[in-house]
């Protein structure tokens, strides 16, 4: 008997806080909604960790925006649609590319400083883009974006930021989302946060894989709680693997940004030979699904754990100046990029599917909105174009914010909600080893290339494990693991149902 909630609770017995808008997540999507609405609406941001632990903070590459001379929203639209393998929503992509420039201006108005040459943005080319169109802040764009949003949030009176809060479940009353149930990680207190609108901006789920670039907090909690409430999700089988994560034992794995290939670095096999030039007209800058598949094929042919990035010809001075974080990280890991090849392989990087939304972030549950990686707006289709994700987080979160400003009345308190769950389940045992086996199995069976045999084996293992969902757990690690198992089942069933290769869902024999 699986419960609709992670834990039993009774709202009449726990502290309850209220706001107009409740935002779950402290990355680009959550903070953008918060700064958009906070002037007028009382806003609370709940985050599992702090800003430095979000995927936004980790983002290296940048933000795609068609502002370079000779570029246009139409060209950005074409590249996005082409990468998406026929599954993009044209309306959503139109919104994305047309609202990109004002969204980037919003950030620069908040003080975000992107790299410039002679007073104009320095544009970089990444995979699948027909021109250089990615604005960036060195190789640490996410740090700059986060810092500017945090500074803007601090300047607004109406935002209350509550970090270290594990959100357990969405609360629903009379068919409408009315808040969330959360666990304060420092005090162990369970609390309810009620609001007229809840915006899920809780990021992705890369930690379901044992090789991922995603931060430790990315366990898919927002997606799993939506699934428990019956909110419509789609496309969870579309997991984008980044072809070039540094081959170390780290979790998360360190990304060697595609921007380095944009500056001319090559991908080479164990004999130092380039392998992308014959495979695609864009060579190393082919869309990411194509590069990941090629990397896996070469690793198999070479019987190796990795291929290599060769950036030696770019030279020490430029590498250090343009990619300071990557340079430092590689050096610490024992690689001098100006003299040595860098070992890389694919890592789970981005969830393309998610909670289905319309163009204003509305989900299938009244009062619940979603934006950022947790959402499926339709802009990425079956394969996300590089550096369209920070952009999506900005553009659609501004739209959510504006929708809320137009439609919510400040101070319209949610009625007294009487909710409780009394499933009275037994206490479960620790899920530490269950999580490790799950992550390993997901990498093995649902990685870059999937086979029907592997997927069926994964489905059978998950069926065997489904009894774990019948117990109640009492700590964030185990709640996260239950969320991961919940989502792994959706990834596997989605992948099994999709028999043909499409975008990042690659079927092998």
Give catalytic residue positions.
288
CA distance 231 to 114: 37
The nearest distance, CB 231 to ligand SIN, in angstroms, is: 26
431 touches ligand SIN by CB under 6 A: no
483 touches ligand SIN by CB under 6 A: no
CA distance 205 to 223: 8
Q: Which two tokens stand for residue 115?
A: 């790299």
Residue number with the smallest Cβ distance to ligand SIN:
61
How far out from the chain centre does Cα 415 lie?
33
258 touches ligand SIN by CB under 6 A: yes
The nearest distance, CB 346 to ligand SIN, in angstroms, is: 12
158 touches ligand SIN by CB under 6 A: no
259 touches ligand SIN by CB under 6 A: yes
CB closer to ligand SIN, 135 vs 159 = 135
CB closer to ligand SIN, 393 vs 454 = 393
CB 229 within 8 A of CB 247: no
Site for ligand SIN in 36-65 (CB under 6 A): 60-61
212 touches ligand SIN by CB under 6 A: no
Kindly state the helix (H) or strand (E) to which residue 78 belongs, with its residue range.
helix 73-83
Q: Annotate each residue in 373-412 with x if it binds ligand SIN (CB under 6 A) or - if it does not, as one string.
A: -------------xx-x-----------------------
CB closer to ligand SIN, 242 vs 505 = 242
The nearest distance, CB 125 to ligand SIN, in angstroms, is: 12
359 touches ligand SIN by CB under 6 A: no
List, as own/partner pairs, every contact residues 429-432 make where C-beta atoms lie below 8 angstroms and the sequence separation is at least 24, other chains included.
Answer: 429/471, 430/478, 431/468, 431/473, 431/477, 431/478, 431/481, 431/482, 432/477
289 touches ligand SIN by CB under 6 A: no
CB closer to ligand SIN, 56 vs 389 = 389
Give the DSSP letter of residue 1: -
The pairing of beta strand 354-356 with beta strand 375-376:
parallel
| Residues across the chain | 509
371 touches ligand SIN by CB under 6 A: no
CB 485 within 8 A of CB 469: yes
CB closer to ligand SIN, 126 vs 172 = 126
HEC sequence for 342-364: EEEEEEEEEECCEEECCCCCECC
Which stretches of the chain bind ligand SIN, using CB under 6 A?
60-61, 255, 257-259, 386-387, 389
């Amino acid at each position: 008997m699986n419960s609709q909630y992670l834990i039993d609770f009774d709202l009449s017995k726990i502290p309850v806080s209220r706001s107009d808008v409740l935002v779950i997540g402290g990355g680009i999507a959550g903070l953008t909604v918060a700064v958009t609405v906070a002037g007028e609406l009382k806003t609370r941001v709940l985050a599992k960790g702090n800003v430095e632990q979000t995927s936004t903070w980790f983002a290296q590459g940048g933000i795609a925006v068609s502002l370079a001379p000779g570029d246009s929203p139409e060209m950005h639209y074409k590249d996005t649609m082409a990468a998406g393998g026929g599954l993009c929503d044209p309306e959503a992509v139109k919104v994305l590319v047309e609202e990109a420039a004002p969204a980037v201006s919003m950030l620069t108005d908040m003080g975000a400083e992107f790299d410039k040459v002679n007073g104009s943005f320095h544009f970089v080319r990444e995979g699948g883009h027909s021109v250089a169109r990615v604005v960036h802040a060195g190789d640490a764009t996410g740090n700059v974006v986060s810092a500017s949003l945090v500074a803007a949030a601090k300047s607004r009176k109406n935002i209350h930021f509550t970090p270290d809060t594990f959100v357990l479940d969405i609360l629903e009353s009379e068919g409408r989302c009315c808040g969330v149930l959360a666990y304060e990680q420092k005090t162990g207190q369970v609390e309810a946060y009620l609001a007229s609108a809840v915006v899920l901006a809780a990021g992705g789920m890369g930690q379901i894989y044992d090789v991922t670039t995603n931060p430790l907090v990315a366990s898919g909690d927002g997606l799993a709680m939506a699934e428990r409430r019956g909110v419509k999700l789609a496309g969870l089988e579309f997991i984008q693997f980044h072809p070039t994560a540094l081959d170390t034992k780290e979790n998360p794995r360190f990304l060697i940004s595609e921007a380095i290939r944009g500056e001319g670095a090559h991908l080479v096999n164990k004999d130092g030979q380039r392998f992308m030039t014959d495979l695609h007209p864009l060579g190393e800058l082919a869309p990411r699904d194509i590069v990941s598949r090629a990397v896996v094929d070469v690793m198999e042919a070479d019987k190796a754990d990795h291929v290599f990035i060769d950036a030696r010809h770019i030279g020490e001075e430029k590498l250090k100046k343009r990619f300071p974080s990557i340079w430092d990280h590689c050096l610490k890991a024992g690689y001098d990029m100006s003299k040595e090849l860098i070992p890389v392989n694919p890592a789970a990087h981005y969830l393309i599917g998610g909670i289905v939304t319309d163009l204003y972030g509305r989900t299938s549950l009244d009062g619940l909105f979603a934006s950022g990686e947790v959402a499926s707006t339709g802009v990425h289709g079956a394969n996300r174009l590089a550096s369209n994700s920070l952009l999506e987080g900005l553009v659609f979160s501004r739209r959510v914010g504006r929708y809320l400003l137009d439609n919510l009345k400040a101070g319209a308190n949610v009625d007294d909600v009487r909710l409780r769950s009394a499933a009275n389940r037994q206490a479960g045992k620790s899920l530490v080893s269950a999580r490790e086996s799950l992550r390993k199995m997901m990498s093995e069976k649902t990685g870059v290339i999937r086979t029907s045999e592997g997927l069926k084996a994964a489905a059978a293992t998950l069926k065997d494990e489904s009894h774990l969902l019948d117990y109640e757990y009492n700590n964030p690690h185990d709640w996260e693991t239950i969320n991961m198992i919940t989502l792994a089942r959706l990834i596997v069933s989605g992948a099994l149902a999709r028999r043909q290769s499409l975008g990042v869902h690659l079927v092998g024999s």
